């Protein structure tokens, strides 16, 4: 591909910080760079405690353990999400209950959540699609009234806010991803934001294989031992060194992405007014991070045609999630609440365009021109 769908961005400082971690001879987790990243995340999000993990999947698994979900318990989430959102809870024996999404933001439709709550419901897992916040005030209010936990899947959401509050810092817990396809990266990586101070001590233990090793290192206990269930969820300090280089430039990375996003948005306004595409919707209470630029086509045939047209011009454009309720494992382990018409419809019509920091203006223009040509020649349905 002349213009790939994604190209991971490096600030230039990654290798130097990795060399420093190498020189420190601290390669395991919770070294100097992990500590820097923890402080940065706590400052950036206002979360009580940030804990680096080796993936967002790991952070979601930790959250499922911390939420104490038991076999047969139910967890409400959208079907239009990545498998890890559901898998983390299925691993605990819980049942994902899939709720439809909103037509505008493609986030979970908060007006449908309450009807999906049963005796067995323990948690709600909103996913902030494309880094645009869910309707968190309503979701938090429902959770409070029904005594449920809220775990934000903020894998797309670093540097985004909802009513001024950073995504991932609003629910009891939030999960971030630093996978190389996300905005701030280290290859494979993630973080658990523990916003509820009551969960913080257990979170450290679960992350350290069920031991109180962190307390031992702080001199709070005399020896460290096995005290709870857990696993090895830490990020190596080598990865944290890479991540630190990215965190230092998180503001400029976000600004550059937003710039490209805004160019696309302006370029496709005309196609939208002619009803040839629909552009993303960002509600006024949300500041987003330009994680993604997508278009909604009139139907699946039009989407297939557009992807093919772009591919012929060496431009990488891709669709996104296969809704979990329609997947083999989703059907085996989960349950759909209602028909999920919007989920099915949107999943069939969405296409994502290249959006990465070093995408050049000439490439942007070429992509815009190719989309416009394809849509203007298309049979309008
Ligand atoms: C990327 C992603 C994840 C998983 O992140 P990893 O760090 O790759 O484990 C989870 N949820 C959503 C919504 C994602 O996009």
pLDDT in tens, 278-322: 999 999 999 999 999 999 999 999 999 999 999 999 999 999 999
Residues 182 and 38 in one domain: yes
Q: What CATH number is associated with residue 214?
A: 3.40.640.10
What was the pLDDT predicted at 377?
85
User: How far apart are the CA of 343 and the centre of ligand 1, in A?
Assistant: 19
Tokens 């490209």 belong to 260
Q: Examine residue 4 and state whether it is found in any structural domain, yes or no.
A: no
The H-or-E segment that residue 193 falls in is: strand 190-194
Read off the CATH number of the domain in which 283 is found: 3.90.1150.10
Check pocket membership of 239 for ligand 1, CB cut-off 6 A. no
All residues at 6 or more sequence positions from 211 whose CB lies less than 8 Å from its CB, including other chains: 205, 224, 225, 226, 227, 230
Cα distances from 120 to residues 87, 146, 154, in angstroms, run 18, 11, 25
182 CB contacts (<8 Å, ≥6 apart)? 155, 156, 158, 291
d(CA 174, CA 46): 12
Among the listed residues 128, 197, 211, the one whose alpha carbon sits nearest the alpha carbon of residue 167: 128
Q: How many domains does the chain have?
A: 2
Ligand 1 atom closest to residue 181's alpha carbon, by position in its atom list:
1
Distance 193 CA to ligand 1 centre (A): 15
Residue 97 resides in a domain:
yes
Q: Tell whether the model's pLDDT for residue 32 goes beyond 70.
A: yes
Contacts of 192 (CB under 8 A, 6+ apart): 50, 51, 53, 59, 62, 63, 173, 174, 175, 176, 203, 207, 233
Based on the fold, state whether residues 268 and 182 are members of the same structural domain.
no
**Chosen domain end from 198, 233, 248:** 248
Q: How far is the CA of 153 from the centre of ligand 1 (A)?
A: 8
302 and 213 in a single domain? The answer is no
pLDDT tens digits for 203-250? 999 999 999 999 999 999 999 999 999 999 999 999 999 999 999 999
Q: Is the pLDDT of residue 1 over 90?
A: no
Q: What is the pLDDT of residues 132-173, one digit of tens each?
A: 999 999 999 999 999 999 999 999 999 999 999 999 999 999
What is the structure's pLDDT at 379?
58
- The verdict on 160 and 290 lying in the same domain is no
Q: Are residues 366 and 315 in the same domain?
A: yes
The atom of ligand 1 lying closest to the CA of 129 is 13
Who's near 242: CB < 8 A, 6+ residues apart? 14, 17, 18, 185, 186, 187
pLDDT band at 378; cut points 50, 70, 90: confident
* Band (36; pLDDT cuts 50, 70, 90): very high
pLDDT at 381: 46
For 242-282, the pLDDT digits (tens) are 999 999 999 999 999 999 999 999 999 999 999 999 999 99
Structural domain boundaries enclosing 356: 250-380
Q: Is the CB of 168 under 6 A from ligand 1?
A: no
């Amino acid at each position: 591909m002349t213009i790939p769908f994604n190209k991971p961005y490096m600030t230039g400082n990654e290798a130097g910080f990795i060399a420093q971690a190498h020189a420190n001879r601290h390669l395991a987790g919770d070294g100097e760079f992990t500590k820097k990243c923890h402080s940065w995340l706590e400052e950036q999000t206002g979360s009580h405690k940030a804990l680096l993990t080796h993936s967002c999947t790991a952070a979601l698994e930790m959250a499922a353990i911390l939420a104490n979900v038991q076999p047969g318990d139910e967890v409400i989430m959208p079907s239009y999400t990545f498998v890890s959102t559901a898998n983390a809870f299925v691993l605990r024996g819980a049942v994902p209950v899939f709720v439809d999404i909103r037509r505008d933001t493609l986030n979970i439709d908060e007006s449908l959540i309450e009807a999906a709550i049963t005796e067995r419901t323990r948690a709600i897992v909103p996913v902030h699609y494309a880094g645009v916040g869910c309707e968190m005030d309503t979701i938090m209010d429902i959770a409070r009234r029904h005594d449920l936990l809220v775990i934000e899947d903020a894998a797309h959401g670093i540097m985004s806010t909802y009513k001024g509050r950073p995504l991932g810092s609003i629910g009891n817990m939030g999960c971030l991803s630093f996978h190389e396809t996300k905005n701030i990266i280290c290859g494979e990586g993630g973080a658990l934001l523990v916003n509820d101070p009551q969960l913080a001590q257990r979170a450290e233990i679960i992350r350290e294989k069920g031991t109180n090793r962190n307390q031992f290192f702080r001199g709070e206990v005399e020896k460290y031992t096995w005290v709870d269930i857990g696993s090895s969820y830490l990020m190596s300090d080598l990865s944290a060194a890479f991540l630190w280089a990215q965190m230092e430039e998180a503001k400029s990375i976000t600004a550059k992405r937003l710039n490209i996003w805004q160019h696309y948005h302006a370029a496709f306004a005309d196609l939208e007014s002619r009803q040839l595409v629909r552009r993303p919707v960002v509600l006024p209470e949300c500041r987003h991070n330009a994680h993604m630029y997508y278009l909604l086509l009139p139907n699946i045939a039009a989407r297939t045609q557009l992807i093919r047209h772009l591919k012929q011009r060496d431009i990488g454009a891709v669709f996104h999630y296969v809704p979990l309720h329609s997947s083999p494992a989703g059907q085996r382990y989960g349950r759909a609440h209602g028909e999920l018409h919007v989920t099915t419809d949107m999943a069939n019509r969405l296409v994502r365009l290249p959006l990465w920091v070093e995408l050049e203006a000439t490439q942007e223009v070429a992509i815009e021109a190719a989309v416009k040509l394809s849509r203007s020649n298309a049979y309008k349905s």
